[in-house]
Amino acid sequence: MIIVTRIGVTDEEIDQIRERVEALGLRTHISKGETHTVIGCIGDEELLEHAPLQAIPGVESVHPVMKPFKLAAREFAAQPTRIPLGGVELGAKEVVVIAGPCSVEGEQMILDTARAVSAMGARGLRGGAYKPRSSPYSFDGMGLEGLELLARARETSGLPIVTEVMDTRQVEQVAGHADVLQIGARNMQNFALLTEVGRVQRPVLLKRGMSATIKDLLLAAEYIMKQGNTHVILCERGIRTFETATRNTFDLAAIPVLKKETHLPVVADPSHAGGRTDLVIPLAAAAIAAGADGLLVEVHPRPIEAVSDGEQSLTFEQFDEMMAALRPVAQAVGRGLASGAPG
């Protein structure tokens, strides 16, 4: 931590700042410039976490030197983390595509979708049983019945299941049916939920919140990892900005930034990022070109009849077209699409 003082700071004020920092257990190092004095704080920066140094008279600005996350940081792991998913690994050389409907709507549609996307190269099945919806009047999922249908879809397709958990009280139930627990964008800072999924033995797919910085996302991952569950998959799905041509603004640069900052795998969700069927392929291709380890894509047998997210879901044909388009792109960046026979 570096503390810069105001122009005209008094010696008494500098002493007070120094004493406060030292009382918290760090050493200080004073360096007087022409107009400002700089106080370096040497030692464990965490000890200053709670201290409102900004509130001490004479302080102009405070500059943290250390990153606020540890377990998620690149430096923490010797190797990139690889997370097994069915017969493949997320975070390895090959790009893993996870596909399926926004919501589980019934048995036939989820089984059909699972079989179709599996045949076309998906290595995971997504589908919501519990759905967060902005309006209390919208369909909010089939609940337990949806989870059971997902489990059945796994049996017939061999695809591991990725599904959302929204409530601390559901964690055990969802973990009992799913292979990967998804934390949605609106719950990215639901710290009670992060803590709870940190205690189970299931990988967690953590979606970036609409107003979360990359640092916030890594701190949310840190919450989960601190409980012992280090299998966290980070997902860029667009942030909220002034642009309205797309549902969200896909922050493509977050992918290479995250790959630098952390050892965790990074996936992208081109369906939510753009919110439009016609944007899924270009956004998916761009994500792979920028280094994404995987994709989360919405597919529905008949998007026009989907109870949610129909305007951004691919048909089976479109999904097949997407996979064909992505294969050469993945190869162009030295990777490939994961194709190991599922589970």
Q: Which residue number, 240 or 341, has a Cβ lying nearer to its own copies? A: 240
Question: Smaller CB distance to its own copies: residue 85 or 326?
Answer: 326
Cβ-based nearer residue to its own copies, 108 or 211: 211
The Cα–Cα gap between 145 and 160 comes to 17
Closer residue to its own copies, CB minimum distance, 11 or 260: 260
Distance CA 289, CA 152 (A): 34
Please list, in sequence order, all residues whose beta carbon lies within 8 angstroms of the beta carbon of residue 298, skipping any fewer than 6 positions away: 99, 100, 101, 102, 126, 271, 272, 309, 312, 313, 314
The structure tokens listed for 200 are 């189970």
Least separation in angstroms between residue 53's CB and its own copies is 8
Closest CB 156 distance from its own copies, rounded Å? 26
Q: Which two tokens stand for residue 153?
A: 């879809």
In the complex with its own copies, the residue whose CB is nearer, 63 or 341, is 63
To its own copies, the closest distance from the beta carbon of 105 in angstroms equals 10
Find the shortest distance in angstroms from Cβ 256 to its own copies: 4
Indicate the residue among 86 and 101 with the shorter CB distance to its own copies: 101
How would you class 133 by CB atoms within 10 Å of its CB: exposed for 0-12, middle for 13-18, buried for 19 or more? middle
Give min distance, CB of 192 to its own copies, in A: 4
Q: Which is nearer to its own copies, 77 or 210 (CB)?
A: 210
Q: Give me the least distance between CB of 214 and its own copies, in Å please.
A: 5
Closest by CA to 74, choosing from 332, 264, 231, is 264
Q: How far apart are CA 191 and CA 185, in angstroms?
A: 13
**CB of 107 vs its own copies, minimal distance in Å:** 19
Closest to 274 in 3D by CA, of 258, 285, 290, 263 = 285
Nearer to its own copies, 206 or 329 (CB): 329
User: What is the enclosing helix (H) or strand (E) of 17?
Assistant: helix 11-23
Q: How far is the CB of 122 from its own copies (least distance, A)?
A: 20
To its own copies, the closest distance from the beta carbon of 123 in angstroms equals 21
Can you tell me whether residue 122 is helix, strand or coil? coil
Distance CA 18, CA 21 (A): 5
Phi/psi for 27 (5° steps) reads: -95, 160
Phi-psi map region of 291: left, alpha, beta (phi>0 left; psi -120 to 50 alpha): left
- Pairing type for strands 180-183 and 161-164 reads parallel
Cβ–Cβ < 8 Å for 185, 149: no
Residue 25 vs 155, nearer CB to its own copies: 25
Q: Work out the burial of residue 342: count CB atoms within 10 Å of its CB; fewer than 13 is exposed, 13-18 middle, 19 or more buried.
A: buried
